[in-house]
Amino acid sequence: MDKAFKEIFDQVFNEYKKTPIDIFGNGKGEVETQELEVLKLTYERTIRDITNYFKPVVRNFEDIKILEIGPWVGFVSTVLKRIGFNISVQEIPDFVCQKNLKAHFENEQINYSPVNLRHYKLPFHNEEFDAIIMCEVLEHLNFNPLPVLSEINRILKMDGLYYLSLPNLVSLPNRLKFLFGKSVNTPIQKFFDQLKPGTSEIIGIHWREYTTEEIRQLLEATSFHITRQYLFHHGHIRNPILKLLLFLPYKFLPGLLPNQTTLAIKTENCQYDFFFSDVTKF
């Protein structure tokens, strides 16, 4: 990441730490801060990937129109906006309609749309965006993702960038859980937590994680060409002994890394005419 971009990143990060969004206004902004610390290197990687992708091909980032789907507290979008990109975000109404988050996006002059992806229709024009970012979202969808990918194809310009990042289903932690008879799925208690009145646990459940090959299969079937796919660790390992123990497995077996990112290009319009029934339409 360029020095100027890194300065913007650090400035925004410090602002979020000093004054958390506190989405639900329940005084739990420190939870957001803790999560930001965990995801800091992941966010830095995303912003570096996006800026490096467009820097060689455009003079002004403001000419690049980007949609981030599922921005959570809007950290990535805020940094990209201040770097100069034309940014919009789409998030579930339960999040983006909360006054603190609305106020943040309005202050940063970021357009926001309250939409639940399970409705399968996005309120944007055909080929409206140069890039679409979707980080740590796909695994939270508790419905068939194919119509969503078709919609992303529709609103993305031809040769536009789809940037997708999510957990790796066959990571070392997941394999170890299976080895010791544990489930890799979200604990059952989370089902109850999600349905408590006034809960902030709205989308915390991973309903379906994917392998890199499954992501490739999904994207190629919906008219995307994958230009880059890599695995990584978000780097937040405090225990030095654990970090040392993981070094060799991850170095020689990178397929065990817990996170994955895919950069894909729209090569043609998606031609699927999906059939919806009471089971598949919500």
Q: What is the pLDDT averaged over residues 99-105?
A: 96
Q: Are 85 and 61 in contact (CB under 8 A)?
A: yes
Range of the domain at 233: 3-266
Residue 93 lies in a domain: yes
Residue 276 lies in a domain: no
Residue 280 lies in a domain: no
How many independent structural domains does the chain possess? 1
Confidence of residue 213 (pLDDT cuts 50, 70, 90): very high
Residue 275 lies in a domain: no
In the chain, how many H helices and how many E strands? Answer: 10, 7
Residue 278 lies in a domain: no
Q: What is the pLDDT of residues 248-273, one digit of tens each?
A: 888 888 999 999 999 999 999 998 88
Q: pTM for the whole thing?
A: 0.94
Give the DSSP H/E element, type plus range, for residue 262.
Answer: strand 259-266
Residue 209 lies in a domain: yes
Residue 274 lies in a domain: no
Residue 51 lies in a domain: yes
Q: What is the pLDDT of residues 110-122, one digit of tens each?
A: 999 999 999 999 9
Question: Tokens standing for 68?
Answer: 């981030």
Confidence of residue 236 (pLDDT cuts 50, 70, 90): low
Q: Are 155 and 90 in contact (CB under 8 A)?
A: no
Q: How many CB atoms lie within 10 A of CB 48?
A: 15
* Domain CATH number, residue 32: 3.40.50.150
Average pLDDT, the chain: 92
CA angle 78, 34, 198 (to 5 degrees): 85
Q: Are 80 and 108 in contact (CB under 8 A)?
A: no
Q: In this predicted structure, which of 23-27, 118-122, 278-282 has the lowest mean pLDDT?
A: 278-282
